[in-house]
Amino acid sequence: MLRERVSDDVHIFTSELYAQVTAGLIVSPDGAAVIDTMAFPSETLEILDLAQNKLNVPVKYVINTHYHADHTYGTCLFKGAEVVAHRKCHDLLNTVGRRGLKEAKADNPALDKIEVILPDLVFSRGQIELHLGKKTLALTHSPGHSPDSITVLVKEDRILFAGDTMMPLPYFVDGSMDDIYRSLQAIPPMGLENIVQGHGEVILRGEIDEAVRSNLRYLDNIRRKMERLIEKGKSREDALEIDIESCGKSRIPLSGLVARLHQRNMLALYDQYSKKKAR
């Protein structure tokens, strides 16, 4: 697993096992906060080892940016930490999450001891703040990638853990394209130093505005292309002929995974527009 430090007290981890998914560790004399917990326990244990054994701080909070497995499976390894998330994350973990873990365990022995951990502290509207020493963590509902998605702003450092709201390619199959569009629009006015994406590289201050604009342009492009496709009466399979480059994005990031995510976006959007037309 890759690790980097973006400020004195903020560490970023990037998985080498699954889709460059990220996690964060924020350290203070009063304890640490972990933001997302990886998919595989071997990598989660590296985060725990850094906090408890190398930095000698207990993990006080574990924050789940959303319920998806690659961001939550490691939560059960942080014994005694208070788990924080959106109310919808609690509900989705307790239903979809439990079913998904049961299926995943049947395919992957590495997940045998993983358990679904439901959040202890949840919020439903707007924003809540957690205080960790001199750090203030502002948790904001940011739906779109999924209904329960949140972002976490380290206010003093102006570092935003964006979860999967910000990725090399916006992905909304489990959420809403309109919602993720609005959530992305909220990012540039924050005056950030860094964005930690849910997958991929950290975005630096001078790159933030263009990175967000690029994602918004992509969403505008696929919307226009899908509207034309539906107007012409084309099939669902035809939606897959609209390639990622024609929508303004490269297929290279995340070792090519973005091309598959794009195809899933197109199918989900086709289904949405087809239902509207049928009404």
Q: pLDDT tens digit string along 63-73? A: 999 999 999 99
pLDDT at 176 (0 to 100): 98
The whole-angstrom separation of Cα 114 and Cα 129 is 29
Domain locations in the chain? 2-206, 216-278
The whole-angstrom separation of Cα 152 and Cα 135 is 12
Does 278 score more than 70 pLDDT?
A: no
Does 36 score more than 70 pLDDT?
A: yes
Average of per-residue pLDDT across 150-165: 99
Amino acid at 263: Q
pTM (global) more than 0.95: yes
Q: pLDDT tens digit string along 175-186? A: 999 999 999 999
pLDDT at 279 (0 to 100): 65
Confidence of residue 125 (pLDDT cuts 50, 70, 90): confident
Q: pLDDT tens digit string along 232-266? A: 999 999 999 999 999 999 999 999 999 999 999 99
Strands (E), the chain: 2-7, 10-14, 22-28, 31-35, 59-63, 82-86, 121-123, 127-132, 135-141, 150-154, 159-163, 194-197, 203-204
Provide the greatest CA pair distance for the chain: 62
Average of per-residue pLDDT across 207-223: 99
Which uninterrupted H or E stretch holds 192? Answer: none
pLDDT at 64 (0 to 100): 99
The whole-angstrom separation of Cα 88 and Cα 77 is 22
Tokens 């084309």, residue?
234
Does 276 score more than 90 pLDDT?
A: no
* CATH class belonging to 2-206: alpha beta
Q: Are 2 and 29 in contact (CB under 8 A)?
A: no
Q: pLDDT tens digit string along 41-64? A: 999 999 999 999 999 999 999 999
